[in-house]
Structure 1
Amino acid sequence: MVRQPPPTAPPAPARALLPLILPAAVVGVAAALVFVGVSRAAEQLQHVLWGPLPDALGVGRYSVPWMFVMLTATGLAVGLVVWKAPGHAGPEPATLGLDAPVLAPFVLPGLVLAVGLMLAGGPSLGPENPIIAVNIALAAWLGGRLVPRAEDGMWPALAEAGTIGAMFGTPVAAALVISEALAGRPMRGRLWDNLFASLTAGACGALTTTLVSRPSFDLGLPPFGHPRWGDVAAALVIAPASALLGMCAVYGFPYVHAAFRRLRHPMLMLPAGGVVLGALAAAGGQLTLFKGLDEVAELARAPEGRSAGGFAALAVVKLAALLVAASCGFRGGRIFPAVFVGAALGLCAHALVPGVHPAVGVSTGVLGMLLAITRQGWVSLFTAAVLVSSPAVLALLCIGSLPAWLLVTGRPQMQLRADGTPVR
């Protein structure tokens, strides 16, 4: 008996997709403006805290005493917000990923203030998780009132896509993340029909960010030509090695988080985290501060300027700072600091073996680290690729992702359940 293939779902008609364009575009633009606004406000505060203020006090901008003071003070300030703000600046950040829950509107001011203080003060976290949570809450609240008959889950999906598009400057990242989230779920219509609204939101978010702030992820590394056999070997070694280093932080996450949780109060947990981060900054220097995107660009400007040991030390200190900041209660994401760790590890490989091209080392190092920290395959591949702006590196990244993914899949993630056990 010949088995008939399963019937394919009919495509969504254009009249069903056309009404989604306007709300998706509005959400994408609004998500980008929130992201740019919070980022710029934090940058202005960072400029004051790490520039005119220490100059006026007669201390070095990045001296060890000032780093200790600033990181401890940031812990105190964020701890006060978490303690006193309505909603306590959102749920426990260790339990959140990119797919944030829909928060009540009264929680958002405290969350925005907490992430702004964190970004300006120097802890090693990025803005992605809190900004996605803010945009999802705003979109769900406003959209539910303006279009009450909208499909359940539409507004959060649009807000997440718009924010991811805004952060990475391209809708491709949003489409890839949403397609990964759709895997295993029942879909009505074809995949592209289901991605249509999210792609629209991501495109509008990316275009808004590009027009307003003109972000760039290109690190300006030496151009990479055609792959060689040595590049294949490097990808097969560096990506899993970076993933293994990232898994060290993942396995340590529940224990470090539990240690800070024993302090029980945000006014103890966060300042204690600030003190530890100050010690790490004293060991690693100013490049190990902040979310890491500007710092990794500075690191990549002179790949010959440090020894292999120097790059390795930066990678280890930054990873430890990411682990502490994510464990003690700071509101922030882990993608951008993980990019710094992976890039430093890739440059370490180049310093050890000069035959390893810097672009290959950085991209595969970032790929392995992001696979371990985020467990988001498309985000890891895409971020690693845009850092070097070379289409030829894509095949190497796909090859390097295979052993790295085998090392991380099915293992604990850097995300905890409410009872403190890791998500798998």
Structure 2
Amino acid sequence: MPVYGVPVVQDTAHQAPTTPAVPARALLPLILPALVVGIGASLLLLLVTGLAERLQEVLWGDLPDALGIGPYSVAWMLIMLTATGVMVGLVVWKAPGHAGPDPATLGLTAAPIAPVVVPGLLVAAMLMLAGGPSLGPENPVIMVNVALAFWLGRRLLPRLPGPLWPVLAEAATIGALFGTPVAAALVISEALAGRPAKGALWDNVFAPLAAGTAGAMTTNLLTHPVFDLHLPPMGGPRWSDTLAALVIASLAALLGLAAVEAFPYVHRAFSRLGHPMAALPLGGLVLGLLGALGGRLTLFKGLSEVGELAGNPDGWTAGQFMTMAVVKLAALLVAASCGFRGGRIFPSVFIGAAFGLGAHALVPSVPEAVGVAAGVLGMLLAITRQGWVSLFTAAVLVASPTILALLCVASLPAWLLVTGRPQMQLKEDGTALR
């Protein structure tokens, strides 16, 4: 019975029925399919991002040089972003399946789409990545990998359950994106929370973890990704660092929530244009204007650009850092609303890092590592509503044992601010998920 209004938690370990464990003979057949999906998902991700990078070099380097135009001049930003909107709009208009469903309705998980839709979605994603809109590759690549794994898996191994293939593809792609299976395991375990499942947690994450491991190892062997920003090392924890992390994470979450609240309205405004050849070019033009305001670092997905910020944390004023954070957030909002095919994690990392570095510039006693990690944590919590991914991403940017404890503390008030609020993902009717 309650004691002073607090329920007493009784030991029911020997009373509650336990879920029977899945035998090893049921898990062993999943290893090979998981490894194949993991390797394939990583190779497709590397192919898409590699081709997009080559195209980006042409569009933002070779072509303006040949025309005698500054590659990051205001004129070229407006031309290139608007042209990207036109090109992606043509793909969305004419490609079979219109390059997949409305990206505003998608999160990190994806339902299988018809294989005929895959080519258009890949082209739209590569054009977007090369052209400069503030979105990352995660959502379209996850969708393509899910579609291919589901279609091939059901034909080659029909005895395995159909719902297994999307989970393997999602875990494999997330592992490949971050270069570690830990991120995939965290996302899958969070998705399983509250759902009825057969067997223990590790029985359910066994195959996805194998797929995520294969995806991460393939990426690491081929490209050697490094997320550590090499910020000045932190010393031991201080009370002032704890306070700074609490404040920065909470303020970053509030800034992110402002964009989340505006998301349905901005999306509705672009939807009223009624055609991708109107919405996407207009969105591209707006993104060009935002790029002219925020500078070249506010273009593209933001992963390499955040490295430039971190490499010179004293190179900009607090006002400049905050301007880049707000402009990038506005660019993310526009790009996600007008129909560009892309994800929101990597741009959110840039926004959070710029916000945190702005806090350091404003209050120099705040360590750069604390500012960046707390800013990224709060922004990702608001934009993705993925607690584990937010903690993990913020922690890997700053290789410090001290930072993880600070982030766990800072996540508590930030989560209270975002939980129950609308998400940056819409239902089919255009209203926000909660």
Q: Which TM-score bucket, shorter chain as reference?
A: over 0.9
Q: 1:138 aligns with which of 131, 148, 173?
A: 148
Q: 2:401 aligns with which of 381, 391, 396?
A: 391
Are 1:228 and 2:238 counterparts?
yes
| Deviation >3 Å, runs of 4+ | 1-4
Q: Residue 25 of structure 2 aligns to which amino acid in structure 1?
A: R
Match of 1:152 in 2: 162
Match of 2:57 in 1: 47
Match of 1:96 in 2: 106
Are 1:306 and 2:287 counterparts?
no
Q: 1:418 aligns with which of 394, 417, 428?
A: 428
Using the alignment, how far apart are the partners of 1:391 and 1:23 within structure 2? 36
Q: 1:199 aligns with which of 195, 198, 209?
A: 209
Q: 2:414 aligns with which of 404, 415, 419?
A: 404
Deviations 1:48-99 (A, max 9, x none): 1000110000000100000000000000000000000000000000000011
Cα offset, 1:227, TM superposition: 1.2
Using the alignment, how far apart are the partners of 2:99 and 2:147 within structure 1? 13
Match of 1:374 in 2: 384
Match of 2:252 in 1: 242
Deviations 1:283-321 (A, max 9, x none): 001000000000000011011111100100000000000
Using the alignment, how far apart are the partners of 2:236 and 2:56 within structure 1? 41
Match of 1:317 in 2: 327
Cα offset, 1:188, TM superposition: 1.1
The residue correspondences of 1:259-270 to structure 2 (distance < 5 A) are 259-270=269-280
Q: In the alignment, is the contact (CA less than 8 A) between 2:52 and 2:126 conserved in 1?
A: yes
Q: 2:221 aligns with which of 201, 211, 229?
A: 211
Count the aligned residue pairs.
424
Using the alignment, how far apart are the partners of 2:155 and 2:162 within structure 1? 13
Are 1:56 and 2:66 counterparts?
yes
SS at match of 1:50: helix
Deviations 1:227-280 (A, max 9, x none): 111110011100010000000000000011111111100000000000100100
Match of 1:70 in 2: 80
Cα offset, 1:5, TM superposition: 1.9
Q: Call closer, same or farther: CA 1:226–1:103 in 2, change over 3 Å.
A: same
Using the alignment, how far apart are the partners of 1:177 and 1:42 within structure 2? 26
Using the alignment, how far apart are the partners of 2:247 and 2:355 within structure 1? 12
Match of 2:25 in 1: 15
Q: Residue 237 of structure 2 aligns to which amino acid in structure 1?
A: P
Q: 2:357 aligns with which of 347, 350, 355?
A: 347
Q: In the alignment, is the contact (CA less than 8 A) between 2:154 and 2:162 conserved in 1?
A: no
Unaligned runs of 5+ in 2: 1-9
Q: Residue 74 of structure 1 aligns to which amino acid in structure 2?
A: T
Cα offset, 1:2, TM superposition: 10
Using the alignment, how far apart are the partners of 1:201 and 1:112 within structure 2? 22
Using the alignment, how far apart are the partners of 1:225 and 1:209 within structure 2? 32
**Identity in percent:** 71
Using the alignment, how far apart are the partners of 2:291 and 2:117 within structure 1? 31
Using the alignment, how far apart are the partners of 2:375 and 2:15 within structure 1? 42
SS at match of 2:232: coil
Are 1:173 and 2:183 counterparts?
yes
Q: Residue 163 of structure 2 aligns to which amino acid in structure 1?
A: G
SS at match of 2:401: coil
Using the alignment, how far apart are the partners of 1:268 and 1:8 within structure 2? 57
Q: 1:111 aligns with which of 93, 113, 121?
A: 121
Match of 1:251 in 2: 261
Cα offset, 1:225, TM superposition: 2.4
Deviations 1:315-369 (A, max 9, x none): 0000000000000000000000000000000001101111101000000000000
Q: 1:295 aligns with which of 305, 311, 314?
A: 305
SS at match of 1:306: coil
Using the alignment, how far apart are the partners of 2:11 and 2:29 within structure 1? 42
Cα offset, 1:419, TM superposition: 0.8
SS at match of 1:295: helix
Using the alignment, how far apart are the partners of 2:151 and 2:277 within structure 1? 31
Cα offset, 1:391, TM superposition: 2.1
Moved more, 301-310 or 8-17: 8-17
